[in-house]
Amino acid sequence: MPNWIINFLARNTPSCKEVIQLISNSMEQPLSLQKRISLQFHFLICKWCSRYQKQLRFIRNILGRNPEKVGENAPGALSQETKERIKQALRPPK
C-alpha cells in the first residue's frame, strides 16, 4: 500500500483507543454504516486492532456456546489436592 494512502487513512480514521470503544459497542448494538466503514479503514492500517476484534469475537463465540460452563474452571473450582500440589510446586527449593 502506498505511503500516501496509509497517511491519509491514519489522519482520517479513529484512533486505536476510539476503535477499541467502537469494537466494544459493536458487541452490544449494531454500529452505524459510517462507523463500520471507519473501522474497516482503520483495520487496513492497524493489525493490532483487527486482531483485538477477532480475539473478542472468538471469546464471545466460545462463551456463547456453553454459558453454563462459564466459571467452571475458575480457581475456586480446583480441588484441595490440586491446590496443594500447586503450592508445593511453587515453593522455593531448600
Hey, where are the domains in the chain? Answer: 3-65
Specify the pLDDT at position 52.
95
State how far the alpha carbon of 82 is from the alpha carbons of 70, 74, 78, 79, in Å: 20, 13, 6, 5
Say how many Å lie between the first and final Cα of the chain, rounded: 59
Return the percentage of the chain with pLDDT > 70, whole number: 86
Report pTM. 0.62
pLDDT, tens digit (0-9, with 9 covering 90-100), for 16-54: 999 999 999 998 899 999 999 999 989 988 999 999 999
